[in-house]
A and B are shown apart, each in its own frame.
Chain A
Amino acid sequence: MIRAAAGVALVALLLAMPRLAPPYPITLLLPAFAYGIALLGLNLLFGTTGLLSFGHALFVALGAYTAAWLTTRCHVMAFEAIVAVAALAAAVVAVPVGLLCVRYVKIYFSMLTLAFGMLFYSFLYKFYALTGGDEGIRVLRPSLLGRGFADLDKVGFLTGPFYYYALAMLALAALVMRRIARSPLGLSLRAIRENADKAAFVGVSVRRYRFYAFVIAAVFGAVGGTLLAVPTGLADPLLAYWTHSGNLVFMLLLGGFDHFLGPLVGAAAFIFLQDFVMSLTVYWRFVFGALLAVIVIFFPRGLLGLLPPERAA
């Protein structure tokens, strides 16, 4: 009951935010929404299935570059089409990458995903004609549900229609992921996380289901990537760099990977914390490193670990 009331209050607050807050914090919420979607996918892989990917940024970058390519080079402005193509592209890339990666677990899986992430980074960096090299590719303002909002300036677009669009996408992504987490596949994935050998002996196709989780995570990553690229207006190779993957893992740990809302809380906390610490000191990375150490040592279940555990399905 309290949870439901808190949820309704949070959604109402987020809906009212553009009227309550100045534009700057609203523009900070946009990447938090985008990362929230990407992290829902990463958490299916880590929190649910027990596979820690250090290459999830590959798919976030893929989503951002899809948005860049389609808007700048193909003049496709419909954001719905961009999201659909990004999801499809992520699935296509995730099939071969996932087939290779899910043959391994633990550190070997993590290292392999890291390697594929860096491979994609190198591709983005070196294939200038295709990717714009280190300069990346611009992401033009897309149309939302067929409307271009030409009357609005950039801030007006981002803090108005795009804000609500991104919020709706986050809500939709969360509902879809909630459904997956509570599906038969979700239960099978949790069994695999807990004891893969045992799962196999009760008839669970461990490798195949890990692969499904990998592809689903990739699709969520790319959809998040399309949303991430619009406010910055740029897709650049650093989106695929390993530090970006590291940030995604950091966000997940910060929010709490064993809680469904952990990814969303982690993304928002990271973005606002980063903004706050960066405004105080140029040594913000040092502060973040120390913070990560504190979280892992004292709050291994993240911010949401401070709440009572969720009811089992």
Chain B
Amino acid sequence: MTLLEAVAVRKLYGTFCALDGVTLEIPSGQFVSIIGPNGAGKTTLVNVLTGLTPPTSGTVRFKGRDVGGVGPVRLARLGMARSFQLVSVFPALTVRETLAVAIQARRRRAARLFASLTGDRALWDEVAMVAALFGLTDELGRPARTLAQGDKKLLDVASAFALRPEAILLDEPTSGVSTADKHAIMAVLVEAARRLGIQSIIQVEHDMDIVFGYSDRILALHQGRIIADATPAEIRANDAIMATVVGRPLAAR
């Protein structure tokens, strides 16, 4: 089943063409990585796919619905979540509260005026479960601003995962993290996705070890166009793509 699709999507910023006729289909169950050199249009593509930026032309559909520029709240309700390249947290809210914000929004309880937050056992049980998946159990009572950078990143991603979306788009989920920690984070993300029933992960990633290690499929973007849409093995074997995207063939690394 096709979860997310883009048809002939163009995005212009003035005269600059950030996306030039992108067409893609992402079925349920795939881990897709979007790669490309700086300025290739990766983040613009994620922004268009998640309805944050309306395309200049073309359509984006999620589960068959046009989601071009629908806005983040409707998108979350439809079953798509995202995280950003730069860490985005609620500085004064604790880890517990941060996860609760997402979970109560998903359960459509975020506007309840007189309901007791502290007495909602199901909410706090789920908060504890998600925190455990991301290794944040010991940090539950700490305000987000006091967390280490790596934990902030995990919390940011965890709050998107807490929405239990069908598809999640992650813009450089391991950026700013040491190479040693990158694989640990990816293992957490893959396991959390499996446990929370998330069907598809779409990530923008620069680290080719991560891209090749976890993806089912790779989309290579260059100057706003998809120049390759293939399996990791096929991309690895294609020197021309590797030279364009990574700057050199894999053999030279």
Q: Which residues of A come within 8 Å of B, CB atoms?
A: 179-180, 182-188, 190-191, 194-195, 197-206, 208-209, 212, 312-313
B102 within 8 A of A: yes
- For the complex formed, measure the closest distance between the CB of A196 and the CB atoms of chain B, giving whole angstroms: 10
**B160, A188: Cβ atoms under 8 Å?**
no
Closest to A179 in B: B114
Residues of B94-115 whose CB lies within 8 A of A: 94, 96-98, 100-102, 104-106, 109-115
Our pick among B93, B102, B116, B159 for the contact of A190 (Cβ within 8 Å) is: B93
Q: Which residues of B come within 8 Å of A, CB atoms?
A: 71-73, 76-77, 81-83, 88-94, 96-98, 100-102, 104-106, 109-118, 120, 141, 143, 156, 159-160, 162-163
For the residues of A in contact with B, the DSSP-based class is helix
- For the complex formed, measure the closest distance between the CB of B72 and the CB atoms of chain A, giving whole angstroms: 4
Q: From known contacts A188-B104, A194-B90, A313-B117, infer whether A202 and B159 are also in contact, taking CB-CB under 8 Å.
A: yes
A residues in contact with B92, CB < 8 Å: 190, 194
Rounded to whole angstroms, the CA-CA distance of A312 and B93 in the bound complex is 8
**B101, A191: Cβ atoms under 8 Å?**
yes
**A188, B118: Cβ atoms under 8 Å?**
no
**A191, B76: Cβ atoms under 8 Å?**
no
**B116, A195: Cβ atoms under 8 Å?**
no
Closest to A258 in B: B92
**A195, B73: Cβ atoms under 8 Å?**
no
- For the complex formed, measure the closest distance between the CB of A11 and the CB atoms of chain B, giving whole angstroms: 23
**A185, B89: Cβ atoms under 8 Å?**
no
B residues in contact with A200, CB < 8 Å: 71-73
**A184, B76: Cβ atoms under 8 Å?**
no
Q: From known contacts A194-B90, A194-B92, A201-B82, infer whether A184 and B141 are also in contact, taking CB-CB under 8 Å.
A: no
Rounded to whole angstroms, the CA-CA distance of A97 and B243 in the bound complex is 58
- For the complex formed, measure the closest distance between the CB of A82 and the CB atoms of chain B, giving whole angstroms: 24
Rounded to whole angstroms, the CA-CA distance of A142 and B81 in the bound complex is 55
- For the complex formed, measure the closest distance between the CB of A193 and the CB atoms of chain B, giving whole angstroms: 8
B residues in contact with A206, CB < 8 Å: 73
- For the complex formed, measure the closest distance between the CB of B134 and the CB atoms of chain A, giving whole angstroms: 15
- For the complex formed, measure the closest distance between the CB of B96 and the CB atoms of chain A, giving whole angstroms: 8
- For the complex formed, measure the closest distance between the CB of B190 and the CB atoms of chain A, giving whole angstroms: 21
Question: Considering residues B77, B82, B110, which has the most beta carbons from chain A within 10 angstroms of its beta carbon?
Answer: B110
**B105, A195: Cβ atoms under 8 Å?**
no
Rounded to whole angstroms, the CA-CA distance of A188 and B102 in the bound complex is 9
Closest to A311 in B: B141
- For the complex formed, measure the closest distance between the CB of A93 and the CB atoms of chain B, giving whole angstroms: 20
**B81, A185: Cβ atoms under 8 Å?**
no
Our pick among B82, B116, B159 for the contact of A183 (Cβ within 8 Å) is: B116
**A185, B93: Cβ atoms under 8 Å?**
no
Rounded to whole angstroms, the CA-CA distance of A195 and B90 in the bound complex is 6
Rounded to whole angstroms, the CA-CA distance of A26 and B103 in the bound complex is 47
